[in-house]
Chain A
Amino acid sequence: MAIHPPADRIWWNEKLTAPEVIWISVAFVWGLIMFFAMIYWHAVGDQNLSNEAYKISPEVFAERTEAMVEKYKVREEGDTGIPVVRPPAGSDIYMLGRLWEWWPILELEKGQQYRLHLSSMDWQHGFSLQPANINLQIHAGYEMVITITPSETGEYSVVCNEYCGIGHHTMVGRIYVVDKKK
């Protein structure tokens, strides 16, 4: 039994049964398939995280974000005072996370590519785009750059899904995806 020393002292010479050999082979091959699936998706899939990231001080990142807001602000969101920014398609766009908001609100065109820069001003935050359900981890001092292509129009929420203190559940942001200007 499993709670006694093996009765057969030379247990490593035991012969394997057919079901064992088959199952081990199947499981091993399945592991290889799953491993190469990730590499395959890097080659042909449309959803891969870039490896582009930089060290950056929160101050510098905030300056770049503010510069974008100044240049491309189109309105404010209701009476919240939060700027809504509509940068040109193909450009570099910025969103910063800080206690407790994602800032600013971005307005993007459907089907266009943008280089999205993300960083935190303070603690770790979770960039969670809903209902698209794209989730990224954001750090202060690190700038993550990904190229996104919004595929559906609509109003998207950004919620924070990394605990960041007592106001965590109020930390939200927004991305509008609109049709291309005629």
Chain B
Amino acid sequence: MAIAAVFRTCPDTGLKVHSHAENLIKANAVVAVIFLAVGGFFGLLVALTRWPAVHLLPADAFYLVLTAHGANVLLFWILFFEVAVLYFASAILLNSRLAMPKVAWGSFVLMIIGAVIANVAVLQGESSVMFTSYPPLKAVPHFYLGLILFAVGMLGAVLVFFATLVIAKDEKTYEGSVPLVTFGAITAAIIAVFTLASGAVILIPTWLWSMDLISEVDPIIYKVIWWGFGHSSQQVNVAVQVAIWYAIAAMVLGAKPLSEKVSRAAFLLYIVFLQLASAHHLLVEPGISSNWKVFNTSYAFYLAVLGSMIHGMSIPGAIEAAQRRRGLTQGIFEWLRKAPWDNPAFSGMFLSLILFGFLGGITGVVMGTEQINLIIHNTMYVPGHFHATVVAGTTLAFMAITYLLIPLIFRRELVFKRLAKWQPYLFGIGAAGISLFMMGAGTLGVPRRHWDITFTDAPLTVEMPGTAFLMMGLNGVFAILAAIGGLAYIVVVVGSVFFGKHRDEAVAKANPVIFDGGEAVTQYGSEGTIRIPGTIVLVAIFFTSFVLYYFVNWKYLSEVWPLR
């Protein structure tokens, strides 16, 4: 077989790069960015409509655009990018060829067809059913069909990923265990199978129902299974984004996990427990027992949360250990102060880590507490929480790794380097702002997915507090900031991919993107005398915030009307 002909050797890493893998990574990443641009634009329109002083769109357009925003960014942008990451973490990191490139291309085409069909259905105007499409709200049949085709395509990509692992093992392209990043990707892929299967199990009958072939879809059963898709797909994102954090820390700083055992065990906790999260959406539903709710909403004793908390120490710890080994040992935080904050891959990764943990993680656990959900369910707090996880966390992490994929896979130098340097900050601060102000509005009772909180057309007057209006206005301001950050990302990516300087071997030598600090940094991990006091302080701050915020919310709950 003429396998050698389709490989090149990466000048940065010395890894063999399979041309099919490389092209598929490029194709999926490019399409992902297109959907981010489209979905992000819709998101800006949503935020400007919910800014009471602006109130941009009419009601029907608002609900349409809100549906389109969810599908394009939460599904299409993220999942296309994840396919790119899966191929990177298998074929590239394992030094292997990609299995079944034809299946991979077929999946890619199927995902595009599905995404386009679903978009057409939404834009036609008869399918403003929101991302969740809860029955008995009914969309046109091709809305569901588009999502089903997209899911089948994604399943094909996951299959290619697993097959590549088998090939790499069989052809002995690497020695010992797979890299931690690949392990994280395997975690994501396993959860993805469960996720996509759940999606199929519920979307296929719903599709048949939309064509009147089935008389009824029970709305509560729908929610239990749909959220096995809707929430579990966010857990895929968590696994991928954590893998990316490890990858960037390794590539930019040469950070090695403090302990392979601990980090891998934390990923295993995700596989075993994350799927229970469907319950987060069912806590104030009739007909579901508290026993079921308590067990599932807590991922059985919060064991998946334990996984995330472990990563929350391992990753900054790995960075601190690498930096200290390099001699940045002054005080508690010199390693952090002198981190490469002007490298957008690093700054994006670290902001993603901090914002995801503090804003997304803590609030997710609090609102997922069975009783506390009573004062949060379906308020603006909910989109506030998941913009912290999916925008400030996942999307920012994906943006950060893009700054490494462009030189390594697209083999181009970045253009507009100053803009790239500022991009993670613009986007991260914007995303943090929208999360915080939406959550603030939610605690004041502002409903989500709602066109008009002045209730002008309602038969009875409703008065929302003035602060709530202020919060929604600030949400709009920060949405503009995030949109500018998103636009900066797209300008840098498109500019670099099409017009960046070709990165031949000479350029790669002159301007390496992979840390080359020699063996000392990469080999020893936590061995020796390296201490991580800075990480311990960060973790202590995190834990204190977590505990305080958790009990504050019990206090809020205890003040509302007694009910039982």
Q: Which residues of A contact B (CB under 8 A)?
A: 1-9, 11-12, 14, 16-17, 19-20, 23-24, 26-28, 30-32, 34-35, 37-39, 41-42, 45-51, 53, 55, 77, 80, 82, 101, 118, 122-124, 126, 128-144, 146-151, 157, 159-166, 168-174
Contacts of A26 in B (CB 8 A): 543
Query: 6 A-B pairs, CB-CB below 8 angstroms?
Result: A11-B260, A12-B261, A47-B564, A142-B287, A161-B379, A172-B458
Q: Does B214 contact A (CB under 8 A)?
A: no
Q: A7 — nearest CB in chain B belongs to which residue?
A: B523
Q: Binary interface profile of B, 214-235, with partner A (CB < 8 Å = 1, else 0)? A: 0000111000000000000000
Query: Provided the pairs A24-B262, A130-B464, A150-B561 are in contact, do residues A49 and B374 lie with their beta carbons within 8 angstroms?
Result: yes
Interface centre among B263, B302, B376 (most CB of A within 10 A): B302
**Quick check: is B180 within 8 A (CB to CB) of the other chain?**
yes
Please list the 8 inter-chain residue pairs (A to B) with the smallest Cβ-Cβ separation, ordered nearest first. A31-B302, A161-B447, A144-B286, A53-B286, A1-B250, A46-B562, A2-B246, A11-B260
How long is the Cα–Cα vector from A28 to B303 in the complex, in angstroms? 7
Does B550 touch A at the CB level, under 8 Å?
Answer: yes
How far is it, in angstroms, between the C-alpha of A161 and the C-alpha of B254 when the chains are bound?
A: 48
**A2-B181, A11-B177, A124-B219 known, 17 other contacts, Cβ within 8 Å:** A1-B254, A3-B251, A5-B179, A20-B259, A30-B547, A31-B298, A31-B303, A46-B563, A49-B284, A124-B136, A126-B377, A130-B462, A141-B218, A144-B286, A149-B563, A151-B562, A169-B457
Verify A135–B284 contact, CB threshold 8 A. Answer: yes
Give chain A nearest CB distance to B60 CB in angstroms: 6
- Chain B residue nearest in CB terms to A21: B262
Whole-angstrom CA separation of A38 from B457 in the bound complex: 40
Residues 256 to 294 of chain B near chain A (Cβ within 8 Å):
256-263, 282-287, 289-290, 294
Which residues of the partner chain B approach A135 to less than 8 Å between Cβ atoms? 284, 373-379
Q: In the bound complex, how far is the Cα of B526 from the Cα of A20, in angstroms? A: 10
Residues of B within 8 Å of A136, CB to CB, are 284, 374, 377
Interface contact A123-B136, CB-CB below 8 Å? yes
Given contacts A38-B369, A46-B558, A123-B137, are A166 and B63 in contact (CB under 8 A)?
yes
> By the criterion CB–CB under 8 Å, are A53 and B287 in contact?
yes
Partner of B175, one of A5, A129, A146: A5
Given A4-B179, A142-B220, A166-B60; A172-B460 close (CB under 8 Å): yes
Give, as a whole number of angstroms, the nearest-CB distance from A107 to chain B: 14
For residue B464, which residues in chain A have a CB less than 8 angstroms away from its CB? 130
Question: Are A42 and B290 in contact, CB atoms less than 8 angstroms apart?
Answer: yes
Decide if B539 is an interface residue (CB 8 Å cutoff).
Answer: yes
Number of A-B contacts (CB under 8 A): 295
- B202 interface contact, C-beta 8 A: no
Contacts of B290 in A (CB 8 A): 42, 48-49, 51
B562 touches A169 (CB 8 A): no
Which chain B positions have C-beta within 8 A of A1?
179, 250-251, 254-256, 522
Q: Which of B178, B218, B455 contacts A159 (CB 8 A)?
A: B455
Pick from A80, A118, A139, A173 the residue with the most CB of B within 10 Å.
A139
The answer to the question of B452 belonging to the interface, with a C-beta cut-off of 8 Å to chain A, is yes
A161/B455 contact (C-beta < 8 A), A17-B526, A146-B564 known? no
Q: Which of B23-31, B140-148, B306-314, B427-435 contacts A (4 or more CB under 8 A)?
A: B306-314
B179–A128 contact, CB under 8 A? Answer: no
The listed residue (A14, A82, A165, A172) touching B261 by CB distance below 8 A is: A14
* Set A3, A146, A147, A148: member contacting B179, Cβ < 8 A: A3
B198 at the interface (CB under 8 A from A): no
Q: Which of B436-455 contact A (CB under 8 A)?
A: 443-445, 447-453, 455
In the complex, the answer to whether B452 meets A5 with C-beta atoms within 8 Å is no
Are B374 and A134 in contact, CB atoms less than 8 angstroms apart? yes
- What is the distance, in angstroms, from A88's C-beta to the closest C-beta of chain B? 19
